[in-house]
Each structure stands twice: as structure tokens, then as C-alpha cells.
């Protein structure tokens, strides 16, 4: 079984919990996820199976899309609804939709975020959440992230809530984004709900729950939920080869720089024979006149792509 299974991760499970559960259901050991989701967050979690686990390094940096609810009037030590309230104030003048739209525009593009205390970032060998649990304050690292877009979906003045859809790069702390947007609006804020609705080009409508997966496995129709690895690599340009080249590619041989394809130094390309993913190649950094393999998928060829 080789391919990508778009899982709808439920609340209450870590991404690693999902891997263990799928290994049992699918009766296979080669299972890997393409990007962690916090236990209290549900949503799209693409799972790679069999030989497709080799493509994981080429998926983790892709954009994610989230549906998020921001609540004005209070902030917590975790920046979300699971934490203890540390500051609060009444929202006497709820911002207009236009003010909210103008404010969220300021957070698009490349911005800087300071990692929240309750996060897995390491400082001096310890996770930040370990310091937080011991009530130890440490200097938190700042990093650049990219917010591709933020759209206002809904407001509820009675609940002091603002619903947003956020498309962003890997490593974005949505709860920190909520706190920072609240500050710009003039209020304490925290994230009260979060769902990942798109990851690595897989949308919520394409996902399967654990219940779905167990039913499909029992009906011997597993292929219904497995996408070919090439689908997950849509963001990579394609280098198509003929049957003679296929054999060389599957042996991982270095090849002359193709004249029929513009290769760019440092950029990976997926190599395809018809609809079969054979490998990922790039320009050899030691010899720019040839291309070399980064990954070869010969173990998938007996079953096709």
C-alpha cells in the first residue's frame, strides 16, 4: 500500500497517536504524517503510506489553511481556550467589520512572531512549555513566517468573536496571530477554536475519519481513499521520461542535464513515466551539467503509482 491518505484528525489525539492507530488499522508499519497538529486541533492531516513516506520532506513546508475563531476581551497563558485567563476587560465598543478587515490586512505577507510559552520550541535544551509549567520566564525566539491571506468570515458581537480563514506557511502560531490581532484592535484576545481545513493541497472535503477508514478497509476497497504520491507533489514541476529512461531513473543513475527541460539549480523536480512517479531529481550541485536523484521510488513500481 503506497500513497497518501488524507485523514481528518479528531480532537484529543496527537499526530503520533494517529500514526499508531493507522498502523493497527491498515496493518502496515510504514506510516508517516506531513505536519503535526496539536491534540486539541482537528483537521486535515495527510498521511503517507509505504514508499510514499519518502516524499514527506517535500510536503512539510507547504501552505496550510485554517478556520479560526478569535475572541476579544480576555487572554490566557496558553493563548487559546485551554489556558487560564491572565487578563480580561469588557468589550464596550466592538470593532466594525471594516476596522477588522483593515486590521487583518496588516498581518498579511512576511511577519515576525514570538513563540508562545506553551509551545514545543527548544530554548537551551528544554521545550518552552516545560519552562511555562515551572513558571520560569525565558527569552523566546522570534521567527519570520508568511501569511498568504486572511479573510473575515463572520462576527458575533454578542459572543465577542471573530471568525477568520487564514492561509499561511509552516510554523505559524495561529493563537499568537489571534493575540496580536486583538492587540491591534485594542483588546485582549485569545483563540477559542481552530480547524485545519487544507494541508498540502488536500482539502477537508477529501478527508476520511477513522470510522470511514475502518469501514472501507473492512469492505476491501482501500484504494478508494489512497491518492498516488504524485498528487501530493503537484507543487513540483514534472520531468517526463520514456521507457528507456525509466530504467536508468529507477537505478538512481546520474544523467546529463536535459536539453528539453529547464532545470533550475537547487530546485527539485518529480520524474514521471506516464502516470508513475519514479523519482525526485535535481541539478547535481557538484556538476551543474548533470542531474542526480534525491529520492527513487522503485519499491512502488510493482503496484503502480
pLDDT, one tens digit per residue, over 85-140 is 999 999 999 999 999 999 999 999 999 888 777 767 787 777 877 877 877 788 77
Task: Using the Cα atoms of residue 265, residue 266, residue 271 and residue 275 in order, give the sign of their dihedral.
Answer: negative
| pLDDT(247) > 70 | yes
Which conformational region is residue 60 in: left (phi greater than 0), alpha (psi within -120 to 50 degrees), or beta?
alpha
Model-wide pTM > 0.85: yes
CATH for the stretch 68-189 = 3.30.2350.10
What was the pLDDT predicted at 123? 77
For 148, the grid coordinates are 498568504
The CATH number of 236-300, from 3.40.50.2300, 2.40.30.10, 2.40.110.10, 2.30.130.10, is 2.30.130.10
**Residue with the larger pLDDT of the pair 134 and 84:** 84
Confidence of residue 302 (pLDDT cuts 50, 70, 90): low
Given this chain, do its domains 68-189 and 236-300 carry the same CATH topology?
no
What was the pLDDT predicted at 135? 78
* Domain 3-62+201-231 architecture: 2-Layer Sandwich (3.30)
Confidence of residue 157 (pLDDT cuts 50, 70, 90): very high
Give the domain ranges of the chain: 3-62+201-231, 68-189, 236-300
Those residues whose C-beta lies under 8 Å from the C-beta of residue 263, and which sit 6 or more positions away, are 239, 257, 269, 282, 283, 291
What was the pLDDT predicted at 259? 83
What pLDDT, in 10s, does the model give residues 174-229?
Answer: 999 999 999 999 999 999 999 999 998 899 999 999 999 999 988 878 788 999 99
For 65, the grid coordinates are 489553511
Which candidate in 17, 38, 212, 275 is catalytic?
38
What was the pLDDT predicted at 303? 46
Does the annotation mark 38 as catalytic?
yes
Amino acid at each position: 500500500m503506497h500513497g497518501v491518505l488524507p485523514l481528518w484528525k479528531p480532537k484529543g489525539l496527537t499526530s503520533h497517536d494517529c500514526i499508531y492507530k493507522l498502523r493497527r488499522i491498515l496493518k502496515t508499519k510504514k506510516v508517516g504524517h506531513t505536519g503535526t497538529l496539536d491534540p486539541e486541533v482537528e483537521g486535515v492531516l495527510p498521511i503517507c503510506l509505504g514508499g510514499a513516506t519518502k516524499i514527506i520532506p517535500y510536503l512539510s513546508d507547504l501552505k496550510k489553511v485554517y478556520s479560526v475563531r478569535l475572541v476579544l476581551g480576555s487572554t490566557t497563558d496558553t493563548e487559546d481556550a485551554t489556558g487560564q485567563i491572565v487578563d480580561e476587560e469588557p468589550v464596550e465598543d466592538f470593532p466594525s467589520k471594516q476596522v477588522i478587515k483593515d486590521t487583518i490586512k496588516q498581518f498579511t505577507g512576511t511577519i515576525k512572531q514570538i513563540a508562545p510559552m506553551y509551545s514545543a520550541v527548544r530554548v537551551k535544551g528544554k521545550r518552552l512549555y516545560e519552562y511555562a509549567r515551572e513558571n520560569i520566564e525565558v527569552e523566546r525566539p522570534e521567527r519570520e513566517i508568511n501569511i498568504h491571506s486572511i479573510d473575515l468570515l463572520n462576527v458575533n458581537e454578542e459572543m465577542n468573536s471573530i471568525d477568520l480563514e487564514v492561509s499561511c506557511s509552516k510554523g505559524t502560531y495561529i493563537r499568537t496571530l489571534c493575540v496580536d490581532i486583538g492587540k491591534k484592535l485594542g483588546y485582549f484576545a485569545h483563540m477559542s477554536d481552530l480547524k485545519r481545513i487544507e494541508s498540502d493541497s488536500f482539502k477537508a472535503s477529501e478527508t476520511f475519519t477513522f470510522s470511514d477508514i475502518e469501514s472501507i478497509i473492512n469492505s476491501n476497497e482501500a484504494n478508494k481513499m489512497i491518492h498516488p504520491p504524485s498528487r501530493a507533489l503537484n507543487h513540483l514541476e514534472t520531468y517526463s521520461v520514456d521507457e528507456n529512461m525509466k530504467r536508468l531513473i529507477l537505478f538512481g543513475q546520474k544523467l546529463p542535464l536535459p536539453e528539453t527541460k529547464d532545470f533550475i539549480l537547487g530546485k527539485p523536480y518529480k520524474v514521471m513515466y506516464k502516470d508513475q512517479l519514479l523519482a525526485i531529481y535535481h541539478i547535481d550541485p557538484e556538476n551543474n551539467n548533470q542531474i542526480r536523484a534525491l529520492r527513487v521510488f522503485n519499491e512502488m513500481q510493482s503496484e503502480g503509482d
